Amino acid sequence: MTDIQLGLDTFGDVSLGADGQPKPMDQVLRDVVEQAVLADELGIHFIGLGEHHRPDFAISSPEIVLAAIAGRTSRIKLGTAVTVLSSDDPVRVFQRFSTLNAVSNGRAEPILGRGSFTESYPLFGYDLRDYDLLFEEKLDILAKLLKSPSITWSGQHRTPLKDQPVYPPLGPEGMVTWVGVGGSPESVVRVVRQDLQLMLAIIGGDPRRFLPYIDLYQRAAEQLKKPLRPIGIHSPGFIAETDEAAREALWPHYSQMFGRLGRERGWPPTTKDRYIAEIEEGSLYVGSPETVARKIAAAVRDLGVQRFDMKYSTGPMPHESLMSCIRLYGEKVIPMVRDMLA
């Protein structure tokens, strides 16, 4: 399993400056570019930028930021975590990524999803009551465009398309495209039916609870006569020189972020005991390089996946802390994981 791919994700969380105050979003975006440049220098496989439309995350147009990153990097794959396809136009999404793929010499690798927030639906004029059908139809359009330079399609939520060419087309190598899934059996089968790649968002609890979804993916691929493609997982984490340093550095930012989300969604209060339990028993990859490497290797081995992406930004952590985390991930964690899985 030495061919495991190890990447990074960020939502461009609005971070704190030297004065302890939130940075302006324009500076946060420039910081994200610098973080991706460092990841490329370290040989990290992938950088994924999440799309959000909230005051706590700076990235609303990930493809624009990815294009800036493309101009300063040469190896790293460039993607999203995720593109909120339900509230976007799938033809435009395809065009943006086929363009990014061209200018980056084939490094575009989008991850499509419905997102964990709903602000984009009213912002772009969509009705949340159409949540499921919007994604179903738009994913169908985009999946067809990945396979053909022109499309014929009809459905409920846009005008029909008949033999419509879409530019720029992909080259003969195509474009690797994932679908982010949070744990719905229907979503897993949809990924197989569209012949795309499955990215499981495991943001809490024992990762082994996702084994039934991997089994479902394999059974669906056999029944639908689709090829088995690589499976990935996405989980949050943070790395420092020691376990204690990592836990203490992340905790105030983690508690601020999840406390805010908890108030919005009616979750129980975020406590440090729950935080520690998630690190020790769940899907929060926080600790020294060796601790995090062992936990990643165990999850990859237990689930039999081919890709692991760590969301390295959680809450308003300073840019310097994030850069240190990326460096430890690239220089220490990745080599350790590869050795452990050899």
Per-residue pLDDT tens digits for 105-119: 999 999 999 988 999
Nearest CA to 79 out of 55, 44, 53 is that of 44
121: amino acid identity, one letter: Y
What's the rounded Cα separation, in Å, for the pair 194 and 192?
5
Q: Which regions of the chain are under pLDDT 70?
A: 1-2
For residue 34, which phi and psi values (nearest 5 degrees)? -65, -35
List the CATH number of the domain containing 54.
3.20.20.30
- The structure tokens 């964690």 sit at 333
Q: What is the pTM of this model?
A: 0.97
Q: What is the model's pLDDT at position 1?
A: 53
Rounded CA-CA distance 259/126 in Å is 28
What's the structural domain count of the chain? 1
pLDDT of residue 261: 86
> Which residues, in sequence order, are CB contacts of 223 under 8 Å at separation 6+?
none
pLDDT confidence of residue 56: 95
Q: Which amino acid is at 220?
A: A
pLDDT at 2: 58
Non-local (6+) Cβ contacts of 325 within 8 A are 238, 239, 240, 312
CA distance 292 to 295: 5
DSSP 173: T
Parent domain of 158: 5-341
Q: Are 320 and 240 in contact (CB under 8 A)?
A: no
